[in-house]
Amino acid sequence: MRATGKESSTSPAVGHALDILVRLAQRPGPVRASALMRDLGLPRSSAYHILSVLEDRGFVVYLPQEKAYGLGAFSFEIGSAYLRHESLERLARPILRRLAARLGQTVQLGILHGAETVYLLKQPPDAEPTADVALITDVGVRLPSHLTANGRAILADTPGAQLRALFAGPADFVTRTGSCPRCLADLRRILERDRARGWSEEVELVADGLRSVGTAAHDHAGRPVAAVSTTWCRHHHDRDPAEVGDVLRRGAARLTRSLSGCPPAVDNSDERA
């Protein structure tokens, strides 16, 4: 329900802060403070004060190279919390069931929580999955998103400003097996390749012997909101990752339609990564 006029007039800063967050979410790249003031009709002093508070709380990030602002990591966490509601899982469950049957192996649904992949659903095929795969991709498991195919599928369509907020320095590029992107430039190259082919892949970055493929589902604005992925032991199963990626891509497209979503807009590498 919309706030009353009295409530709005007594807390204009709250409304302005929300307007700023919505505006940043609508833009594909960073936005200068002057543009926010102009578009939202904000006084200069109020705008900078609100931006400072939002930056301190992690909701926005200032990018000195562009002299502009983008959404911060905590904005991602709020969005991820919303997506963890039952509606997403309920819509995804029958799609994952069909994908597991089609591939003959376990399929997962994951989202971003900060810079981590969080698995929300795990759908095995009729046959029981092997124990090693089940352990790595169990529901509730958190893994560094830059190491997982599920996380990379979402990151591939994440705006560049938000990507920089999530991976601000070398400490953000943790490794599990000794092989991973070491900096944002390395990650960009991987994500550009993934965007071009429509699916993401990791090989033995999370655990020795395991290979994963994933692809993202999108919301009404073409933003990535979740990903479907599958993991298998590469020494036991000789699967073509391109064929697996194509199957998952069709499943993710069905989930996108179920969410009233649409495919991402044409990529702009300067804005997105």
Three-class SS state of 37: helix
Q: State the average pLDDT over residues 251-266.
A: 87
Residues ≥6 apart with Cβ < 8 Å to 203: 211, 234
Q: State the average pLDDT over residues 165-194.
A: 86
Place 66 in a pLDDT band, splitting at 50, 70 and 90.
confident
Task: Report the first-to-last Cα separation within the chain, whole angstroms.
Answer: 37
Place 261 in a pLDDT band, splitting at 50, 70 and 90.
confident
Q: How far is CA 38 from CA 33, 35, 47, 58, 92, in A?
A: 9, 5, 10, 23, 41
Q: Which domains does the chain have, with CATH numbers?
A: 5-71 (1.10.10.10), 77-272 (3.30.450.40)
pLDDT tens-place string over residues 8-51: 445 788 999 999 999 998 887 889 999 999 999 999 989 999 99
Q: State the average pLDDT over residues 139-143.
A: 82
